[in-house]
C-alpha cells in the first residue's frame, strides 16, 4: 500500500458521485465533446490518422498527435525510464515516459515501449543453406530507430489521455502494422535506404544501392510512384543524400567503399600494409579541409579524392610510399 493510500480516508463510489456538481460535470462533458469534434475537423486522414479496414476506430499517428498538442499549447518532455542494452546479443529495449506540461504544470503522462525483437525491426538474410534467418546485426542497426519508436508511442499515449480522445482514436499496436512503412520512412537513414530491397518488377530482389548503379532512372521512377512510403522515401534519399554539418551532400556508402577500394589497390601496389590509413591520407591530400572521418565524406570530397587517387595511380612518377615518416594516427569508427 502506498503512503497516499495509507493515510487517505476511504471514499465509496456512491459518495464520490454524490459530491459531484452535475451541472459542472455536464458543462465539462459538453466542452470535451466540442473539442473532440474540432480535433476531428482539423486532422487529415492518412496523414494525422489512419483508418484500418475492419476496425471500429481510426489510429492516431505521430503527425496527428503533434498537431493536437500544438492546438492545446502543450509542451512535451521525454525520459527513458527503463532500458535493456545487450551489446553482445544485439538486443535493445526501451521504455520512454512522455510528460505533457502547460506553463510548467504537469498535466498527464504516457508510456511507450519498443524493442529490436519486434518483427518490423528484424532484417532477414539468407544463411549458408539458402534459408532466411534474422540478421544478427539488425539489432545494432535498429537501436536508435527503436528508441525513437518508444518515444513516439509514449507521445501518442499521453496525447490520447490529455485530449480525452481514447473513444475516437486507438493506439492498438497490432492495428498499426499497416502503417509500418510510415514509421520506417520517419526514421530512415542512408544505410537503411541503400539496403532497402525491391519486392516487385524487373529489379525484384535487388537493393536500391544495386539498382542505383545500373538503372538510376528506375530509382527516380520509384521516388515519384512507389506505393510503399518507406521505398519512396529511400529512393528520394539516394537521389538526394543527407547533408553534412556545412550543408554539403554526403557521399553514399557505395562511394565511400569505392574510395576504400582505390586506397587499398594503391597500398597493395606500393607494398603498404595499412590500407585504411593509406586511404585516409590520400583523401586528406586531395582535400586538406576534410577532417578524416570516413563516415562523413561530402560528395565534393569524394569526387576530388577519386580523381586524385586515379591520377596518382596513373602517374609514372608515383613515390613508392608517399607517407614515409608520417607518424600521425587517425582514430575513426568504421562505417557500417
Strands (E), the chain: 49-50, 59-60, 75-86, 91-102, 105-115, 124-126, 132-134
Torsion angles phi and psi, residue 108, rounded to 5: -165, 170
Instruction: Give the number of other Cβ atoms within 10 Å of residue 140's Cβ.
Output: 15
CATH 3.30.160.20 in the chain, residue ranges: 56-186
Say yes or no to pLDDT of 293 above 60.
Answer: yes
Phi, then psi, of 185 in degrees rounded to 5: -65, -30
pLDDT at site 99: 93
**145 has a pLDDT exceeding 50:** yes
Residue 329: predicted pLDDT = 36
| Report for 30-39, 231-240, 317-326: range of highest mean pLDDT | 231-240
pLDDT at 229: 76
- Sign of the alpha-carbon dihedral angle for 120, 122, 127, 131: negative
Please tell me the pTM assigned to this model: 0.45
pLDDT in tens, 211-238: 988 898 999 999 888 877 778 888 888 8
Residue 326 pLDDT exceeds 50: no
- The tens digit of pLDDT for each residue in 90-137 reads 899 999 999 999 888 998 899 999 999 888 788 877 777 777 788 887
The per-residue pLDDT for range 160-182, each reduced to its tens digit, is 887 666 655 665 444 444 445 55
> What's the residue count for the chain?
336
The whole-angstrom separation of Cα 97 and Cα 85 is 18
Which of 33, 184, 168, 211 lies closest to 121 in space, CA to CA? 184
Residue entry with cell 492545446: 72
In CATH terms, 56-186 corresponds, of 1.10.3470.10, 3.30.160.20, 3.30.70.20, 3.90.226.10, to: 3.30.160.20
Amino acid at each position: 500500500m502506498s503512503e497516499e493510500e495509507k493515510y487517505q480516508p476511504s471514499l465509496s463510489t456512491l459518495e464520490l458521485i454524490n459530491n459531484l456538481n452535475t451541472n459542472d460535470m455536464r458543462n465539462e462533458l459538453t466542452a470535451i465533446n466540442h473539442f473532440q469534434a474540432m480535433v476531428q475537423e482539423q486532422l487529415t486522414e492518412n496523414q494525422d490518422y489512419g483508418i484500418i479496414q475492419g476496425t471500429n476506430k481510426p489510429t492516431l499517428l505521430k503527425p496527428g498527435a503533434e498537431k493536437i498538442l500544438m492546438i492545446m499549447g502543450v509542451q512535451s518532455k521525454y525520459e527513458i525510464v527503463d532500458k535493456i542494452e545487450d551489446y553482445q546479443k544485439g538486443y535493445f529495449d526501451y521504455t520512454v515516459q512522455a510528460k505533457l506540461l502547460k506553463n510548467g504544470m504537469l498535466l498527464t503522462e504516457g508510456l511507450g515501449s519498443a524493442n529490436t525483437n519486434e518483427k518490423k525491426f528484424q532484417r532477414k538474410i539468407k544463411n549458408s543453406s539458402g534459408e532466411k534467418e534474422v540478421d544478427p546485426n539488425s539489432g545494432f542497426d535498429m537501436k536508435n530507430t527503436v528508441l525513437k519508436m518508444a518515444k513516439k508511442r509514449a507521445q501518442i499515449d499521453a496525447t490520447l489521455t490529455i485530449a480525452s480522445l481514447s473513444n475516437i482514436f486507438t493506439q492498438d499496436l497490432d492495428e498499426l502494422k499497416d502503417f509500418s512503412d510510415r514509421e520506417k520512412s520517419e526514421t530512415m537513414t542512408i544505410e537503411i535506404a541503400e539496403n532497402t530491397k525491391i519486392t516487385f518488377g524487373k529489379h525484384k530482389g535487388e537493393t536500391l544501392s544495386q539498382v542505383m548503379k545500373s538503372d538510376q532512372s528506375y530509382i527516380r521512377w520509384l521516388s515519384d510512384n512507389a506505393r510503399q512510403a518507406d521505398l519512396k522515401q529511400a529512393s528520394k534519399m539516394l537521389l538526394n543524400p543527407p547533408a553534412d554539418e556545412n550543408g554539403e551532400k554526403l557521399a553514399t556508402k557505395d562511394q565511400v567503399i569505392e574510395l576504400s577500394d582505390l586506397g587499398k589497390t594503391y597500398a597493395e601496389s606500393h607494398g603498404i600494409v595499412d590500407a585504411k590509413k593509406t586511404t585516409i591520407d590520400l583523401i586528406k591530400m586531395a582535400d586538406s579541409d576534410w577532417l578524416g572521418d570516413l563516415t562523413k565524406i561530402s560528395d565534393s570530397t569524394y569526387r576530388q579524392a577519386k580523381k586524385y587517387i586515379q591520377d596518382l595511380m596513373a602517374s609514372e612518377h608515383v613515390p613508392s610510399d608517399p607517407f614515409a615518416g608520417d607518424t600521425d594516427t587517425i582514430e575513426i569508427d568504421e562505417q557500417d
